Amino acid sequence: MSDLTNLTLKAALDGLAAKAFSSEELTAAHIHAIEKARALNAYVLETPEQALAMARASDARRASGDAGALDGAPLGIKDLFCTEGVRSTACSKIIGEFVPTYESTVTTNLWRDGAVMLGKLNMDEFAMGSSNETSYFGPVRNPWNLAYVPGGSSGGSAAAVAARLVPAATGTDTGGSIRQPASLSGICGFKPTYGVSSRYGLIAFASSLDTPGPFARTALDCALLQNAMSGHDPRDATSLDRPHEDVARLIREKAGAKPLEGLRIGLPAEYFGEGIDAEVAAAMDAALAAFRSLGATTVAITLPVVKLSVPVYYVIAPAEASSNLSRFDGVRYGHRAARYDDLDDMYRKSRAEGFGAEVKRRILVGTYVLSHGYYDAYYLKAQKVRRLIANDFARAWRECDVIMGPTAPSPAFALGAKTDDPVQMYLNDIFTIAANLTGMPAISIPAGFTKSGLPIGLQIQGDYFTEARVLNVAHRFQQATDWHARAPSVGSSVGSDTTLKGQRP
């Protein structure tokens, strides 16, 4: 059974197609693994009965010759995606026991292609965080070291994939919430071009930044999942109306001894300066040497305005959050204060009790920068700088095909190490935020480990709609290295401890 949980998504699909095992067997193996590893707190809701029912239906489809692209593959779903008939909370007290009567477009696409849902995955509350410590269900632990964070906000997704509790999972990336936890947890996390994956049915954080994307152990698996997740959706005004693209097509092409011959890799001076952990820097050097051996060349570039990404993000994202979260008021669903004097008092108390500290902080900042007299000084100026950052990248693409650097300035940090210093927490996303502000695709892939055994991630960024190229570059690196194939000793480190089981405190 444990052998089945070690399969990548591609290997699992191949095994199902060859009838080496059934979806029910594959799903049961992952359900057993989840039960043994609840101390990670990766899942906030397990759906074993539904998963087995979906698996049996998949086996029936496959037996009749009607299998979809993902038929029988177990997946984990970040708790930000609305799933019909299954509790969806964004890991916030204020949403309560909300059970949607509709399905997000992304998960609709996954079920259309035959995927199986194992459950809902933990995350920072409303996707606001970089460590998965703001969740109402409690923190997620890093499977490489339980005393460390897995990254955030999609920490449950990253930890579950790394710990072999699921072959692949969905996430969302607003300022690095797929790529940063992928880096800290030692797996692959892919953010496509903004608008390629629909946001319909996604509990909104910052609407101009939120981007659904996949987690998996390989770039090929990310490509397979992204193929299913993407597509135009008329219910999402920001969904791009363009032909569906097979982002795995370049990966499928045979390559010679130098598969990346002619590829120009841009190395921004701003990504390799002060503040980078020495072991992270060494891993980047080794990874770039591997890319050169595959035929690529490196080019020095500059992105002078990218250093302003963090302050720009923490004006725009809170502003959009303050607007999006105004709908949660305790009236129709979710948490409502037990005692209040009038309607205004009910609003105040319900929101004060329902939102966590980090969400309150961002709502306050966002409301302030949108207020009369400050809109021009902060929000409008931030939008102008956002354009300047995009212009930096537009110039860079004239000199290179992809841009590389560390995903995060350091490996995973200890639980509680940065909770008292929001600025230090925010700076963990310093290299990932620009891809959200510009809307460009990017992936984080494993590129090494520290001496203490913590993963290090490499980020590969591309121009708009170059998903296939970015994924292919990552895949060729993984054909030449084995960082992505390494697994944490999660069985011995977690054991049967269930003290952090994903239930509300």
Distance of alpha carbon 390 from the chain centroid: 22
pLDDT at 505: 37
CA distance 371 to 127: 24
Same domain flag for 133 and 221 = yes
User: Does residue 223 share a domain with residue 90?
Assistant: yes
Candidates 307, 284, 324; CA nearest to 433 is 307
The residues facing 188 across adjacent strands are 216
What b/e string do you get for 18-35 counting C-beta neighbours within 10 Å, with b at 16 or more?
A: eeebbbbbbbbbbbbbbe
Instruction: Please tell me whether residue 309 adopts helix, strand or coil conformation.
Output: helix
Domain span at residue 422 reads 2-263+399-493
* Final residue belonging to a domain, choices 331, 362, 386: 386
| Model confidence, pTM | 0.96
Rounded (10°) angle between helices 467-480 and 278-293: 90
Measured distance CA(440)–CA(437) in Å, rounded: 8
Spatial contact of 192 and 467, defined as CB atoms under 8 Å apart: yes
Asked if 142 and 494 touch (Cβ cutoff 8 Å), the reply is no
Residue 99 lies in a domain: yes
pLDDT for the residue 459 = 98
- Whether residue 424 lies inside any domain: the answer is yes
Considering only CA atoms, give the Rg of the chain. Answer: 21
Tell me: do 117 and 184 sit in the same domain. Answer: yes
How far is 313 from 138, CA to CA, in rounded Å? Answer: 26
Residues 420 and 488 in one domain: yes
Q: What is the pLDDT of residue 90?
A: 98
For residue 332, count CB atoms less than 10 angstroms from its CB and return exposed for 0-12, middle for 13-18, buried for 19 or more. Answer: exposed
Q: Are 335 and 414 found together in one domain?
A: no
DSSP for residue 263 = P
| pLDDT tens for each residue of 289-326 | 999 999 999 999 999 999 999 999 999 999 999 999 99
CA 468/CA 460 separation, integer angstroms:
12
Q: Are residues 158 and 60 in the same domain?
A: yes
Q: What is the DSSP string of 374-400?
A: TIIIIIIHHHHHHHHHHHHHHHHTTT-
Q: Quick one: 192 and 137 in the same domain?
A: yes
Please state the length of the chain.
505
CB contact at 8 A, 86 and 49: no
Q: Are 203 and 146 in contact (CB under 8 A)?
A: no
Which pLDDT score, from 0 to 100, does residue 1 have? 52
CATH number at residue 130: 3.90.1300.10
Residue 216 within a domain: yes
- Distance separating alpha carbons of residues 460 and 373, to the nearest angstrom: 40
The verdict on residue 358 lying in a domain is: yes
Whether 374 and 406 map to the same domain: the answer is no
Residue 268 domain flag: no
pLDDT digit string, tens, across residues 133-165 = 999 999 999 999 999 999 999 999 999 999 999
pLDDT, position 332: 87
313/351 same-domain check: yes
Do 352 and 486 fall into the same domain?
no
State the total domains in the chain. 2
Task: Sheet with 116-121: list strands edge to edge.
Answer: 43-46, 116-121, 74-78, 168-173, 211-216, 188-191, 442-449, 455-461, 402-406, 264-268, 297-301
Strands 297-301 and 264-268: parallel
Catalytic positions, please? Answer: 78, 153, 177
CA dist 439 and 257 (Å) reads: 33
Alpha-carbon gap, residue 487 to 13, rounded angstroms: 20
Same domain as 246, residue 128: yes
Whether 275 maps to a domain, the answer reads no
Which tens digit of pLDDT belongs to each residue from 454-480? Answer: 999 999 999 999 999 999 999 999 999
189 beta partners:
215, 444
In a domain, 208, yes or no: yes
Q: Are residues 56 and 197 in the same domain?
A: yes
The span from the CA of 323 to the CA of 205, in Å, is: 9
End residue of a domain, out of 331, 358, 386: 386
Give the residue from 360, 386, 412 where a domain finishes. Answer: 386
Residues of the chain with pLDDT under 70: 1-2, 490-505
- Name, in order, each residue with C-beta under 8 angstroms of 266's C-beta and a sequence gap of 6 or more: 298, 299, 300, 301, 396, 399, 400, 401, 402, 403, 404
In single-letter form, the type of residue at position 3 comes to D
455 strand-pairing partners: 449
**H or E segment at 156?**
helix 155-162
> How many Å apart are CA 427 and CA 454, to the nearest integer?
19
